[in-house]
Chain A
Amino acid sequence: MMDKAVADKVIIEPETEEKVILDDIDRKIVDITQSGLPLVSRPYNDIALRLGIEVSDVIARMKSMQDSGVIRRIAAVPNHYALGYKANGMTVWDVPDDRIHELGEKVGQLDFVSHCYQRPRFLPEWPYNLFAMVHAHDRAEASLLVKKIAELIGEDDRGHDILFSTQILKKTGLRFNQ
């Protein structure tokens, strides 16, 4: 099984992104909005009331978190599974390190890919360094999407796999232990 000696749990900082410092109020806003904005006429007022701050402050802080990239987007988040996307596959690819940036950008732009990340290999058991999530109605459709990615990657594809989810065991928003 896995060799503990290679399992050095160092979290490598993403090269292109900086850590953002959030204060306590920002973190509380994160906590409150993760479970959803209230469905009332003035939702940010509700948050302001709960935190005892001005509504303009809530909006300004959320805007600032959006500008710094902490908030990727504010959204009505659809439940893909309920909407018929029953085959959710994590596709994983082994591509040369010196090609991963260019290939990652290309794969990340495909409209059927919802997430695309570089992650470290975990050798010898796990040779894959590029992850792309695909959502399809069924497995046959998912296989076609894998084929499209394979064509895009071309001869740099040194091996790939698709891991279908069979059960959601937990899915919650981000939570801070406070």
Chain B
Amino acid sequence: MQLNTENKLNKQQLSALEKHLLNDFQHDFPLLSRPYKKIADKLGTTEELVIETLKQLQERGYVSRVGAVFRANSIGASTLAAMSIPEEELDAVAEMINEYSEVNHNYQREHHYNLWFVLTASDEHTLNAILDDIEHRSGHCVMYLPMLEDFHIDLGFDLGFDLEHDSGY
């Protein structure tokens, strides 16, 4: 299948150092004065090479960012929201929703509810006002599904690299 071939290609194109940087530091990235030096020591390479490789991974789009991942709903008020929008209105409604800086994610999904977005505001009052505003401007109802409980201990996501058989950078 096309997608699988592409994927294998991608993985083969990654060096062992790149795979380690992608897979091994999805949690406990060092909170030290020189974090990249610490990573380099762990992987037996140099700080310069770690920084350079991360830059390249970012440029190639494999790393979206090196930074903090925040727990949903721990700051301010947030909710997942969904709307059922006729196909011909979808682009316009999506564009209108994206105008709000409080909207972090917005996905089109294959379903009767075809527009799914996450809203994070400083407080509940602001959040509700934006939801009302979106309903009013779009003329469609919003289904809002705030998180009640988080069951996942987030340690990142095993990328399935076969690192045991890689050696050397």
- Whether A83 contacts B110 in the complex (CB less than 8 A), given A9-B131, A73-B29, comes out as no
How far does the Cβ of B60 sit from chain A's closest Cβ, in whole Å? 8
- Whether A173 contacts B108 in the complex (CB less than 8 A), given A14-B150, A40-B51, comes out as no
Complex interface: chain A residues within 8 A of B111 (CB): 161, 163
Q: Which residue on B lies nearest to A104, using beta carbons?
A: B151
- State in angstroms the CA–CA spacing of A176 and B67 once bound together: 17
- Whether A117 contacts B141 in the complex (CB less than 8 A), given A39-B51, A70-B75, A166-B110, comes out as no
Q: Determine if A34 and B67 form an interchain contact, defined as CB atoms under 8 angstroms apart.
A: yes
Most chain A CB neighbours (cut-off 10 Å) among B70, B97, B143: B70
- State in angstroms the CA–CA spacing of A15 and B148 once bound together: 7
Q: Determine if B62 and A41 form an interchain contact, defined as CB atoms under 8 angstroms apart.
A: no
- State in angstroms the CA–CA spacing of A11 and B148 once bound together: 9
Q: Determine if A36 and B66 form an interchain contact, defined as CB atoms under 8 angstroms apart.
A: yes
Picked from A37, A44, A115, A169, the residue with its CB within 8 Å of the CB of B33 is: A44
Complex interface: chain B residues within 8 A of A63 (CB): 31
Q: Determine if A172 and B73 form an interchain contact, defined as CB atoms under 8 angstroms apart.
A: no
Complex interface: chain B residues within 8 A of A59 (CB): 31-33
Q: Determine if B141 and A71 form an interchain contact, defined as CB atoms under 8 angstroms apart.
A: no
Instruction: Give 1 or 0 for each of A82-112: 1 = CB within 8 Å of chain B CB.
Output: 1111110010000000001100110111010
Q: Determine if A169 and B106 form an interchain contact, defined as CB atoms under 8 angstroms apart.
A: yes
Q: Which residue on B lies nearest to A27, using beta carbons?
A: B75
Picked from A39, A74, A116, A161, the residue with its CB within 8 Å of the CB of B54 is: A39
Q: Determine if A73 and B154 form an interchain contact, defined as CB atoms under 8 angstroms apart.
A: yes
Q: Determine if A42 and B34 form an interchain contact, defined as CB atoms under 8 angstroms apart.
A: yes
Picked from B75, B77, B156, the residue with its CB within 8 Å of the CB of A75 is: B156
- State in angstroms the CA–CA spacing of A115 and B80 once bound together: 13
- Whether A174 contacts B75 in the complex (CB less than 8 A), given A39-B58, A161-B111, comes out as yes
Complex interface: chain B residues within 8 A of A42 (CB): 33-34
Instruction: Give 1 or 0 for each of B58-79: 1 = CB within 8 Å of chain A CB.
Output: 1011111111111111111101
How far does the Cβ of A54 sit from chain B's closest Cβ, in whole Å? 12
Kindly state whether residue B88 has any CB partner on chain A within 8 Å.
Answer: no
- State in angstroms the CA–CA spacing of A126 and B80 once bound together: 13
Kindly state whether residue B15 has any CB partner on chain A within 8 Å.
Answer: no
Q: Determine if B116 and A62 form an interchain contact, defined as CB atoms under 8 angstroms apart.
A: no
Picked from B22, B51, B71, B128, the residue with its CB within 8 Å of the CB of A71 is: B71
Complex interface: chain A residues within 8 A of B21 (CB): 76
Picked from A9, A86, A164, the residue with its CB within 8 Å of the CB of B144 is: A9
Kindly state whether residue A155 has any CB partner on chain B within 8 Å.
Answer: no
Kindly state whether residue A118 has any CB partner on chain B within 8 Å.
Answer: yes
- Whether A37 contacts B66 in the complex (CB less than 8 A), given A119-B146, A137-B7, comes out as yes
Q: Determine if A11 and B74 form an interchain contact, defined as CB atoms under 8 angstroms apart.
A: no
Q: Give residues in B with beta carbon < 8 Å to A.
A: 1, 3-4, 6-8, 10-11, 21-23, 25-29, 31-37, 47, 51, 54-55, 57-58, 60-77, 79-80, 82, 84, 94, 97-98, 101-111, 113, 115-117, 120, 122, 124, 127-128, 131-132, 141-159
17 further interface pairs, Cβ-Cβ under 8 Å (given A74-B28, A169-B117): A9-B127, A30-B68, A34-B68, A36-B58, A41-B51, A73-B29, A75-B69, A77-B64, A82-B62, A83-B10, A107-B151, A108-B151, A118-B151, A170-B94, A170-B117, A174-B75, A175-B104
